[in-house]
Structures are given as C-alpha cells and as structure tokens.
Structure 1
Amino acid sequence: MFRAGSRCMVELPMATHLIAQRRAFQTENLASDTFTKATHDRAARTSKALRFIQALDPVDRKAVASMLRVDHSGEIAANTIYEAQADVFGYRGQIPTKNLVLDMWENEKKHLQAASTMLDDYRTRPSALVPVWALAGRVLGGFTALLGEKSAMACTEAVETAIGEHYDDQLQHLSEIQQKLAKTYTGEQMKELEESLDLLRNVLVEFRDDELEHLDTAVEHDSQQAPAHALLSAVVEYGCKGAIEIAKRI
C-alpha cells in the first residue's frame, strides 16, 4: 500500500483492465455514522461537543475550530474535484474511468455530510471562502480530467498525499490536547472529555484512511505515468497545502 508522503517509483505494469474494476469503498458502520445517521441522538452529542469545547483553553479551542473548518473546506473541494472529473469522463464516453471516480466520490460525499454536521455540533463557522474552494476543486478536477486518465489519477495522488499528511498532523494535535486535559480533569469529567476526543479522533482516522485508499487507487491506475507527473504533483500538493493554511484563518 502507498501512503501519504510516499513517492515510491516502483514500476507498475500497464494494466488497462484495472480501470474497469469497481472499487468497493466502505461507507457504512463507521465513526462518521454518528454524524450522518438520524438514529444517533444529536442533542446529546451536541451537548457533549459543547462541553468538550468549553473545557479547552482558548488556544486549543481555536485549534479544534480550525481543524473542523479546514476539513469541511477540504471536503467541499474534494467533492467538486471528483464531480468535475466524472463529468468530463462521462462526456468523453470513458465510462469505466467515470465509474472509478464515482466510487471515490461516494466516500467524499459522506465525509462532507459528516464534516458539515460537525461544524454545527461544535458551533464552528465554515470558511468564508467556501465558494472559492468549490470553484478551485471544479477547475482542478476538470482540467486534470481533460489532460487524461493518468493525469486525473495524478491529481488524486497529489491531493490525497497532502490531505493524508494534514490528518496525521491533526491527530497528533488531538493527542497533545488529551495530555493537557489529563492534567486538569479527572474522574467522570475526564471520561466524558475522552469520549468526545475519541469520537473526533476516530472520524479523522476514518477520513485519513479513506483518502489514503484513494491515493493507493490512483497509483494502481497509473498516476505516476502521467505526463509531467512530478511537476503536476508538486503544483497540486503545494496548492493544497496553501489552501489548508488559508482555510485555517479565513
């Protein structure tokens, strides 16, 4: 499996038949179900989320809000990237490739639903630049799809590499927050705070692993054989990292 930050250049066999394979990405019985299923008690969950936020010091409260805002922005962009790619491949009659993109898009739709609900639960505002992220995703997705299947996969590889690293950074920050809370709270209060932390952590792990699965899928489908792969990857990756920093603040 290829993972975030990897730039392994193992020679992959030309396997056109792989493009026709549908990938079954898991979308049920996951941590994000807590934020997407009506069967979960939203009032109780929101109350816990607010108590968790109130227990944080101002710096960590701002950091968690920033995490949620960035993740929501990223899911907006991811959805429009895959939507644009699916549109282009559908228009061109490249149905197997369109179906592959649609499979990955299904993951991102659930991510976006969960991320939107989490913003509400934690009383966090979305990025003021949501329309910009949506437009940027659509332009990037459409442009790379027009360049061809391998370039579209190279786009996925680069985006998911940056996002995978970003989720790892967030998970590390949550671990640091937990250590700080443990110095202040004990007993039942700490137990409840840890439950909220664990839920947030499990959702981020789920999102990260899905993104890395998309990365692996892109590599399996010849992303590294795209024309000007290194240049395209660098531009997309640095663009993603820049967008992350902007969404943290705006």
Structure 2
Amino acid sequence: MIDQLILGFDRALQTVFASASTVRPTPGEDLPETELSDAERRHAAALMRINHCGEICAQALYQGQALMSDNDGIRRALESAAQEETEHLAWTERRIAELGGRKSLLNPLWYGGSLAIGMAAAKIGDGFNLGFLAETERQVEAHLKSHLDDLPQKDGRTRAIIEQMKTDEVAHAETAVRLGAVPLPPPVRGAMKLMSRVMTRTAYWL
C-alpha cells in the first residue's frame, strides 16, 4: 500500500504539473488552422480548458478507484481507461496552447477532490465503482457533445479532438457495463451533474 501511495503521489504531480504525452497522433493535427476571430479563439480555448480540467478529474477518479479496488480485472480496466485519458490530457493541452489559452488555475483542487471521490466509490463495492465510472463517462460524453454544438463549425482541429475524446468515453462506459456496472440511484446521478456544472462553469474562467 505504501508503494502504491508513493506511485500515486508521483502520478498526481505528473498529471497536474507535467506535460502529458500521447501514443496516438493528435486528432486533426493534419488539418489546416482556421482563421478565427479573437472572441472565437478565446471561447474555443476556454472550452478546451474545461475539457483538460475534466481529464485531470478523470485521472484522479481512476487512480482513486484503482487504488481501493481489490478486483484485478476492474483495476486493469481502470488503468487502461486512464491511459487513454492521459492522451486526452496531451491533446487538450496542445490545443489550448495553439489557441493561445491557459490551463485551469484550480487543477490541483480538482484533482484532490476527484481522487477522494474515486476512493470512496471503490470502497462501496465493485458494482457501484463500475456504475460510477459508467455514469461519469456518459455525462462526459454529453458534455463533449454540447461543446461540439457550441464550437464554430470551421474550427476543425478543435472539433476533431473532441470527436475522438467522445468516442473513447463511450467505449469506457461500455467496458464498465460489460464488467458489471450497476445503475446509480437518481440522487447520486443528480449530485454528479451538479458537481460537474460547478467545475465546468468555474474552469471556463479560471
């Protein structure tokens, strides 16, 4: 457990403060950069800051869930999903820089809170743990879809990243269901949506 905590602390530092790496090419990197107005560029950068913040939270959730889970199959699934989320971190970070934006100033706070939630979810039981994962991914998918509706159609580079992220999140949710996720009670789903709304509205500006 001590070794896991040390590794977990190192992962937290890398997630929050270091630049993420990606194995897969960044979606849309072969598309030409579109001419955007200053307002469109600021808006796109803010939306990508929200998405980057969401991936910070996802990393922490997966780490907390994997740390407290006794099921090897679930732990491997969480670690696999976390690897793809790391790529999402790299993609969103790169796009934020291209758009002239910055990452959220509150990323350490988002990480710490999400880590605690992930650990608590895992302690309740495997079915709930996986159900929490599936519901998180469904809400993220809906959130990404709203960004696609909100972004300028001509911003192909940003849209390509979000489209691939959305595809990956759907796959993560399907994996959780296949492994035995149980539906979460409506009050829990509602609380998750409320917390997500607070995070997204804050991260848009900070």
One of 154, 167, 170 as aligned partner of 1:212: 170
SS in 2 for 1:126: coil
The 1:113–1:33 alpha-carbon spacing in structure 2 relative to 1, beyond 3 Å, is: farther
Matched, 1:56 2:52: no
Larger-gyration structure (1/2): 1
The 1:234–1:217 alpha-carbon spacing in structure 2 relative to 1, beyond 3 Å, is: farther
The runs of at least 4 aligned residues of structure 1 exceeding 4 Å deviation read: 27-31
Q: Which residue of 2 aligns with 1:122?
A: 99
Q: Which residue of 1 aligns with 2:179?
A: 221
In structure 1, what residue type is equivalent to 2:96? L
Q: 1:28-72: per-residue Cα shift (whole Å, max 9, x none)?
A: 6554384xxxxx8xxxx9xx65x73xx3152x2332121111011
Q: CA deviation at 1:108?
A: 0.5
What fraction of aligned residue pairs are identical, expressed as a percent? 20
Q: Which residue of 2 aligns with 1:243?
A: 199
* Residue correspondence of structure 1 range 5-84 to structure 2 within 5 A: 31-32=26-27, 34=29, 49=33, 52=35, 55-58=36-39, 60-84=40-64
SS in 2 for 1:223: coil
For 1:198 and 1:28, the matched residues in 2 are separated by: 21
In structure 2, what residue type is equivalent to 1:210? D
Give the TM-score normalised by the residue count of structure 1.
Answer: 0.67
The 1:230–1:222 alpha-carbon spacing in structure 2 relative to 1, beyond 3 Å, is: farther
* Residue correspondence of structure 1 range 88-167 to structure 2 within 5 A: 88-89=68-69, 92=70, 94-167=71-144
Q: CA RMSD in A?
A: 2.3
Give the TM-score normalised by the residue count of structure 2.
Answer: 0.79
In structure 1, what residue type is equivalent to 2:135? A
The 1:62–1:199 alpha-carbon spacing in structure 2 relative to 1, beyond 3 Å, is: closer
Q: CA deviation at 1:120?
A: 1.9
